[in-house]
Copies of this chain bind each other. A is one copy, B any other.
Amino acid sequence: MEHTNGGDTSASAQAHSNIALAKYWGKRDAALNIPAVGSISITLDALHTDTRVTFDAGLTKDELWLDGREQQVGRAGLVLDLVRERAGIDLRARVVSENNFPTGAGLASSASGFAALAVAATAAAGIEATPRELSVLARRGSASAARSIFGGYAELHAGESTDGNDSFAEPLLDGDAWPLSVVVAITDPGQKAVSSTVGMQATSASSPFYPAWVESAPADLDRMRAAILAHDLETVGELAEHSCLALHSLMLTTRPALIYWNAATMSAIHAVRGLRAGGLPVYFTIDAGPQVKALCLPADAAAVASALTLVPGVQETRTSVLGPAAHLVAVP
């Protein structure tokens, strides 16, 4: 936190994207942004958001700048309101955010973005918040952001309370305790046509499989947690692929259908399965977008990246180790 002249206060934070190995889709409370099921993720070192928040007496409304362009404030305004309420301040804020990866393309930019916002805004407002409180705050912006407060392996609980205060993420396993790598194959850096928030609402309203998903998710979550704690890559990978395919099945059976995959997505899926058939332990997962993330051992990451780079339609690969928790950084 930095107090500048004129009563302005600024803070900057960095948070890393995460990908869920056991995914959630759908909300049990849309207004409070509480997920319908729990989820387990890994935080990615290579993809991050840097966000600076400045509460400025000279502003008449909140401003959001993302990758150099002013945006609708949207849910960032809600997070700022919660921070202002807790801090007892009434200043408007300027939020300046930069992603080092494509935004809104299924690479969890909302996860890293809202986690960085929660950390920077609370610090700029002079609030002391625990990681769990930061996680609940970030969740109001984007449920997956609750997980990006933490590094390594994290679990977001769906919780049961009506206020959502028991829907928070917490660390499941330190990244150093079981290092894994992820090769992200970018097949289309463009923004997706339907946002996750809109897509989830449509799915819960219209997919005939949605109730079965909500019912079956907790058991898979338990299995995933156990497999991670056991450092069992084969089981983690098989569960991750099933969770991914179940998620996309929900989307495909939404009316109208949400089809996030493209030709290169399919080719990358088959490439990962082909590598595995050849003896290399690598597993795919895909979020609400066309990018394929391949989970593997760090020693195999270069081979996986080489193979995915050769897949027709894959424009770029990024290899990542597991990343750290969201943290404050010195204001430049």
This protein's copies in its complex? 2
Cα distance, A262 to B256, chains bound together (Å): 22
Interface size class on chain A is 20 to 34
A252 touches B255 (CB 8 A): no
Cα distance, A265 to B212, chains bound together (Å): 27
Cα distance, A261 to B209, chains bound together (Å): 21
Q: 1/0 per position for A47-61, CB-CB distance to B under 8 A?
A: 000000000000000
Interface positions, chain A 21-37, Cβ under 8 Å from B, are: none
Nearest Cβ on chain B to A216's Cβ, whole angstroms: 4
Nearest Cβ on chain B to A34's Cβ, whole angstroms: 22
Q: Which of A74-82, A119-127, A240-248 contacts B (4 or more CB under 8 A)?
A: A240-248
Q: In this assembly, does A267 line the interface, its C-beta being within 8 Å of a C-beta of chain B?
A: yes
Nearest Cβ on chain B to A243's Cβ, whole angstroms: 10
Residues of B within 8 A of A252 (CB): 245-246, 248-249
Nearest Cβ on chain B to A163's Cβ, whole angstroms: 30
Q: In this assembly, does A231 line the interface, its C-beta being within 8 Å of a C-beta of chain B?
A: no
B-binding residues in A (CB < 8 A): 208-209, 211-213, 215-216, 238, 241-242, 245-246, 248-250, 252-253, 255-257, 259, 261-267, 269-270, 273, 312-313
What 4 A-B pairs are tightest by C-beta distance, nearest first? Answer: A249-B249, A263-B263, A208-B216, A245-B252
